[in-house]
Amino acid sequence: MRLELAARLGEKVPRYTSYPTAPHFHAGVDAVVYRGWLEALEGGDEISLYLHIPYCARLCWFCACHTKQTRHYEPVAAYLRSLYAEIATVGGLVTGKGRVRAVHFGGGSPTMLKPEDILALGTVLRNSFTFLPSAKISVEIEPNDMDDARLDALAEIGMTRASLGVQDFDPKVQKAINREQSFLQTKTVVDGVRSRGVESVNLDLLYGLPHQTRESVASTVAQALTLEPDRIALFGYAHVPWFKKHQTMIDEAWLPGPAARFAQSQLAARAIMDQGYEAIGLDHFAKPGDALALAARAGTLHRNFQGYTEDRYETLIGLGPSSISQFRQGYAQNMPSTAEYGRMVEKGGLAAVRGIALSEDDRVRGWIIERLMCDFGFSAIELVERFGEAGQRLLLEASSTALHGPARLLELDGDRFVVPAESRPFVRSIAAKFDKYFESGTARHSAAV
């Protein structure tokens, strides 16, 4: 078992925020296809929007997001003009065909926008799309960006959830990742959003960072818990310097090994759950009354490019360079280059340049993978009821994995295939067993745990 554990800790597998995963997108899904998918939306559809702000005032060495550092605001202002153009075009195509249920501002650092630009962006969105009265608006916040004017602006556009990047409070770790941020700064922002009526606060924590130890992780978790967040996301640092060159600023000799990473993750998870939080999927935790916890208990949890979500929408529209959209028909991704993206959208065009149309086999495998990632299991009866013959074929694969595959990957419990409790930290590796693209793909991935 120790040899098997070591092997699993060393595996490199996708994070499965989509299926098929982004490395398998291709140029066959372009702006023409994307336009057709937008036009095919129907009046009763509910939509989620993702807006990407691809700039940061400071580049964190650990980050794997599509972003760039800028010390001047002019590039940001120019980018916003392009974003407004794309919003106008996409909004015009979906007017009357769908209503917005949720909005997520990510990056980069969306909170580096000036307060007046935050307000303007909120106005442009509501003028271009039909919002449901109960629409949720979540914002990724960089505490170093924040001041009262930005907090006021976020409250005015209707922010309902603030997600703060913490990573680690240890000064040595912060220096190694170029993200110096005191506990007091973080607490001030948490207090500020709550005083403005924001109903939910999420904290992002990382393990596997340079110089982290079990003791430093325990200290960070303990401090984070004093802020009483509604949710906590506990991610493993993804060291992918071949993909993000700035990660070469991190000396690999400073990184904990696979066994140390695993120990850190388990220690942090136990400390969080000991304070009454419920484990959600692979790496999230929530208070029992939080919508994410309710969805997990009801079996209605979903997973997309922002992680775990209680939203049940089928359509996610990504706005901004590199953003990915999700439709019933498949996935479409925008041009990653900010400059080229601007040229594509500023005259009323669309910026989609790659993606993938879903086959029936993709849909079945995607459903299995999502249920594994969300529920650590799936119903054989539901699989066949949903997908008929295609589901029956995958049922045979699942049975083979459960009965003849590596020990303790899947077990049969009545009509359900379930991941045993001791194997749940490795669920990404188990999901990869149903990924037909994985073995033949050339993409490089981060560690499974």
For residue 200, which of 224, 227, 225, 230 has the smallest C-alpha distance?
A: 230
Per-residue model confidence (pLDDT) at position 398: 87
pLDDT of residue 348: 93
Q: What is the pLDDT of residue 3?
A: 46
Q: Give me the sign of the Cα torsion angle 93, 98, 100, 104.
A: negative
Range(s) within the chain of domains with CATH label 3.80.30.20: 21-356
Amino acid found at 66: H
pLDDT in tens, 82-116: 999 999 999 999 988 889 999 999 999 999 999 99
Tell me if the bond preceding 108 is cis, omega within 30° of 0.
Answer: yes
**Paired residues of 319 in beta bridges:** 51
The predicted pLDDT at position 60 comes to 86
pLDDT confidence of residue 1: 43
DSSP-derived pairing of the beta strands 377-379 and 278-280: unpaired
Counting beta carbons within 10 angstroms of the beta carbon of residue 419, is it exposed (0 to 12), middle (13 to 18) or buried (19 or more)? buried
User: What pLDDT does residue 263 have?
Assistant: 92
| Helix-helix angle 380-404:360-375, to 10 degrees | 80
Delimit the CATH 1.10.10.920 region(s) of the chain. 1-15+359-449
**3-state secondary structure labels for all residues of the chain:** CHHHHHHHHCCECCCCCCCCCHHHCECCCCHHHHHHHHHCCCCCEEEEEEEEECEECCCCCCCCCCCEECCCCHHHHHHHHHHHHHHHHHHHHHCCCEEEEEEEEEECCHHHCCHHHHHHHHHHHHHHCEEEEEEEEEEEECHHHCCHHHHHHHHHCCCCEEEEEEECCCHHHHHHHCCCCCHHHHHHHHHHHHHCCCCEEEEEEEECCCCCCHHHHHHHHHHHHHCCCCEEEEEECCCCCCCCHHHHHCCHHHCCCHHHHHHHHHHHHHHHHCCCCEEECCCEEECCCCHHHHHHHHCCCEEECCEEECCCCCEEEEECCCCEEECCCEEEEECCCHHHHHHHHCCCCCCEEEEEECCHHHHHHHHHHHHHHHHCEEEHHHHHHHHHHHHHHHHHHHHHHHHHCCCCCCEEECCEEECCHHHHHHHHHHHHCCCCCCCCCCCCCCECC
- Which CATH number does 21-356 carry? 3.80.30.20
Q: What is the strand order of the sheet 377-379 is part of?
A: 377-379, 416-418, 411-413
Q: What is the pLDDT of residues 143-197, one digit of tens each?
A: 999 999 999 999 999 999 999 999 999 999 999 999 999 999 999 999 999 999 9
Give Cα 139 to chain centroid, integer Å: 13
Q: What is the pLDDT of residue 446?
A: 59
**What pLDDT does 20 receive?**
96
CA–CA gap between residue 440 and residue 383 (Å, rounded): 25
User: Which residues have C-beta within 8 Å of that of residue 190, sequence separation ≥ 6?
Assistant: 162, 164, 201, 227, 229
Does domain 1-15+359-449 sit in CATH 2.60.40.2470? no
Q: Among residues 153, 232, 146, 231, which one has the least CA distance to residue 191? A: 146
| Regions of the chain short of the pLDDT cut 70 | 1-10, 405-407, 441-449
